[in-house]
Protein backbone atom coordinates (compact mmCIF):
# COMPACT_ATOMS: atom_id res chain seq x y z
CA UNK A 1 0.00 0.00 0.00
CA UNK A 2 1.05 3.56 -0.61
CA UNK A 3 2.41 5.69 2.19
CA UNK A 4 0.11 7.78 4.35
CA UNK A 5 -0.85 11.23 3.13
CA UNK A 6 -1.02 12.38 6.72
CA UNK A 7 -4.82 12.22 6.79
CA UNK A 8 -5.68 9.35 9.10
CA UNK A 9 -9.38 9.41 8.18
CA UNK A 10 -8.61 8.57 4.55
CA UNK A 11 -6.48 5.59 5.60
CA UNK A 12 -9.29 4.33 7.83
CA UNK A 13 -11.84 4.76 5.03
CA UNK A 14 -9.69 2.85 2.55
CA UNK A 15 -9.16 0.10 5.12
CA UNK A 16 -12.94 -0.15 5.72
CA UNK A 17 -13.51 -0.31 1.96
CA UNK A 18 -10.91 -3.07 1.47
CA UNK A 19 -12.08 -5.07 4.51
CA UNK A 20 -15.71 -5.03 3.33
CA UNK A 21 -14.72 -6.03 -0.22
CA UNK A 22 -12.63 -8.91 1.17
CA UNK A 23 -15.45 -10.03 3.49
CA UNK A 24 -17.78 -10.18 0.47
CA UNK A 25 -15.20 -12.10 -1.62
CA UNK A 26 -15.08 -9.18 -4.06
CA UNK A 27 -11.86 -8.63 -6.02
CA UNK A 28 -10.98 -4.92 -6.18
CA UNK A 29 -7.89 -3.18 -7.48
CA UNK A 30 -7.20 0.10 -5.68
CA UNK A 31 -4.97 2.59 -7.49
CA UNK A 32 -3.50 5.81 -6.21
CA UNK A 33 -4.06 8.77 -8.50
CA UNK A 34 -3.46 12.52 -8.39
CA UNK A 35 -6.32 14.65 -7.11
CA UNK A 36 -8.77 15.62 -9.84
CA UNK A 37 -10.94 18.72 -10.04
CA UNK A 38 -13.75 16.87 -11.82
CA UNK A 39 -14.97 13.42 -12.74
CA UNK A 40 -13.87 14.09 -16.34
CA UNK A 41 -10.36 14.98 -15.17
CA UNK A 42 -10.22 11.83 -13.03
CA UNK A 43 -11.25 9.72 -16.05
CA UNK A 44 -8.57 11.39 -18.17
CA UNK A 45 -5.90 10.74 -15.51
CA UNK A 46 -6.84 7.05 -15.40
CA UNK A 47 -7.19 6.67 -19.18
CA UNK A 48 -10.87 5.70 -19.06
CA UNK A 49 -14.11 7.37 -20.09
CA UNK A 50 -16.41 9.25 -17.67
CA UNK A 51 -18.98 6.46 -18.21
CA UNK A 52 -16.47 3.99 -16.68
CA UNK A 53 -16.46 5.92 -13.39
CA UNK A 54 -19.49 5.05 -11.30
CA UNK A 55 -20.63 7.66 -8.79
CA UNK A 56 -21.91 6.31 -5.46
CA UNK A 57 -24.61 8.84 -4.61
CA UNK A 58 -26.20 8.97 -1.16
CA UNK A 59 -29.94 9.56 -1.47
CA UNK A 60 -32.14 10.52 1.45
CA UNK A 61 -35.68 9.25 2.05
CA UNK A 62 -38.30 11.51 3.59
CA UNK A 63 -38.27 9.20 6.66
CA UNK A 64 -34.57 9.94 7.33
CA UNK A 65 -33.13 6.70 5.95
CA UNK A 66 -30.81 6.53 2.97
CA UNK A 67 -29.92 4.48 -0.10
CA UNK A 68 -27.02 4.36 -2.50
CA UNK A 69 -27.54 5.03 -6.20
CA UNK A 70 -24.70 3.83 -8.45
CA UNK A 71 -24.73 6.03 -11.56
CA UNK A 72 -22.24 6.19 -14.46
CA UNK A 73 -20.23 9.41 -14.61
CA UNK A 74 -21.81 10.52 -17.88
CA UNK A 75 -25.35 10.15 -16.53
CA UNK A 76 -27.46 11.49 -13.67
CA UNK A 77 -30.21 10.10 -11.46
CA UNK A 78 -33.63 10.00 -13.07
CA UNK A 79 -35.66 11.03 -10.03
CA UNK A 80 -39.03 9.83 -11.43
CA UNK A 81 -37.56 6.37 -12.24
CA UNK A 82 -35.82 6.01 -8.86
CA UNK A 83 -38.87 7.20 -6.88
CA UNK A 84 -41.09 4.74 -8.75
CA UNK A 85 -38.66 1.87 -8.16
CA UNK A 86 -38.29 2.64 -4.45
CA UNK A 87 -42.03 3.29 -4.11
CA UNK A 88 -41.83 6.77 -2.58
CA UNK A 89 -42.82 10.24 -3.69
CA UNK A 90 -39.83 12.14 -2.28
CA UNK A 91 -36.09 11.50 -2.43
CA UNK A 92 -33.24 14.03 -2.25
CA UNK A 93 -29.48 14.42 -2.26
CA UNK A 94 -28.47 15.41 1.29
CA UNK A 95 -25.82 18.00 2.19
CA UNK A 96 -22.23 16.74 2.32
CA UNK A 97 -22.21 16.60 6.14
CA UNK A 98 -25.33 14.45 6.19
CA UNK A 99 -23.86 12.08 3.59
CA UNK A 100 -20.72 11.78 5.76
CA UNK A 101 -22.84 10.99 8.85
CA UNK A 102 -24.83 8.39 6.88
CA UNK A 103 -21.83 6.56 5.38
CA UNK A 104 -18.64 7.54 7.22
CA UNK A 105 -17.24 8.78 3.89
CA UNK A 106 -16.64 12.31 2.60
CA UNK A 107 -18.01 13.30 -0.80
CA UNK A 108 -15.59 12.18 -3.49
CA UNK A 109 -14.74 9.01 -1.53
CA UNK A 110 -18.23 7.55 -0.99
CA UNK A 111 -18.81 3.88 -1.73
CA UNK A 112 -21.34 1.35 -0.43
CA UNK A 113 -18.41 -0.91 0.46
CA UNK A 114 -17.40 -0.21 4.05
CA UNK A 115 -20.19 2.28 4.66
CA UNK A 116 -20.79 2.67 8.39
CA UNK A 117 -24.41 1.70 7.68
CA UNK A 118 -25.28 -0.88 5.00
CA UNK A 119 -27.95 1.13 3.17
CA UNK A 120 -29.80 -0.51 0.24
CA UNK A 121 -28.03 -0.19 -3.12
CA UNK A 122 -29.67 0.63 -6.46
CA UNK A 123 -27.42 0.36 -9.51
CA UNK A 124 -28.16 1.76 -12.93
CA UNK A 125 -28.49 -1.01 -15.51
CA UNK A 126 -25.97 0.71 -17.82
CA UNK A 127 -23.07 -0.26 -15.53
CA UNK A 128 -23.55 -4.01 -16.01
CA UNK A 129 -21.25 -6.26 -18.00
CA UNK A 130 -18.06 -4.24 -17.60
CA UNK A 131 -15.20 -3.21 -15.37
CA UNK A 132 -15.84 0.08 -13.60
CA UNK A 133 -13.98 2.53 -11.39
CA UNK A 134 -15.50 3.86 -8.17
CA UNK A 135 -14.59 5.59 -4.94
CA UNK A 136 -12.31 3.63 -2.64
CA UNK A 137 -13.10 5.33 0.66
CA UNK A 138 -10.22 7.83 0.49
CA UNK A 139 -9.26 10.90 -1.51
CA UNK A 140 -6.65 10.20 -4.19
CA UNK A 141 -7.65 6.57 -4.69
CA UNK A 142 -9.94 4.79 -7.12
CA UNK A 143 -11.06 1.18 -7.14
CA UNK A 144 -11.56 -0.96 -10.22
CA UNK A 145 -14.09 -3.77 -9.96
CA UNK A 146 -16.29 -5.96 -12.14
CA UNK A 147 -19.72 -4.26 -12.03
CA UNK A 148 -21.68 -7.53 -12.08
CA UNK A 149 -19.63 -8.95 -9.19
CA UNK A 150 -20.08 -5.68 -7.30
CA UNK A 151 -23.87 -5.57 -7.68
CA UNK A 152 -24.15 -9.25 -6.72
CA UNK A 153 -21.91 -8.79 -3.65
CA UNK A 154 -23.96 -5.78 -2.53
CA UNK A 155 -27.33 -7.40 -3.25
CA UNK A 156 -28.07 -4.35 -5.38
CA UNK A 157 -31.29 -3.74 -7.25
CA UNK A 158 -30.19 -3.26 -10.88
CA UNK A 159 -32.62 -1.16 -12.90
CA UNK A 160 -32.96 1.80 -15.26
CA UNK A 161 -32.55 4.70 -12.81
CA UNK A 162 -30.54 7.23 -14.83
CA UNK A 163 -30.73 9.61 -17.77
CA UNK A 164 -28.07 11.42 -19.80
CA UNK A 165 -26.44 14.33 -17.96
> Three-state DSSP class for 97?
helix
Q: What pLDDT sits at residue 1?
A: 36
Q: Looking at residue 9, what is its pLDDT?
A: 60
The pLDDT assigned to 35 comes to: 84
Query: In terms of DSSP bridges, do strands 131-135 and 141-146 run parallel, antiparallel, or are they unpaired?
Result: antiparallel
Q: Residue 53 in contact with residue 132, Cβ under 8 Å?
A: yes
Q: Among 46, 15, 29, which residue's Cα sits nearest to residue 149?
A: 29
- What is the block-wise mean pLDDT of the chain (165 residues), using blocks of 10 residues? 43 94 97 90 95 97 96 98 97 96 94 97 97 94 97 98 96
CA distances from 158 to 35, 63, 122, 126, 151 (A): 30, 23, 6, 9, 7
SS3 per-residue string spanning 112-126: CCCCCCCCCEEEEHH
Q: What is the pLDDT of residue 10?
A: 66
What is the phi/psi pair of residue 147, to 5°? Answer: -60, -40
Phi/psi of residue 15, each to 5°?
-65, -40
Amino acid sequence: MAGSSGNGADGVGRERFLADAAARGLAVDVVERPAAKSLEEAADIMGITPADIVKSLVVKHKDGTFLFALIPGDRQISWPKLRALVGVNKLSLPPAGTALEATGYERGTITPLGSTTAWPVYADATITGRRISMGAGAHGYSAFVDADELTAALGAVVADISEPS
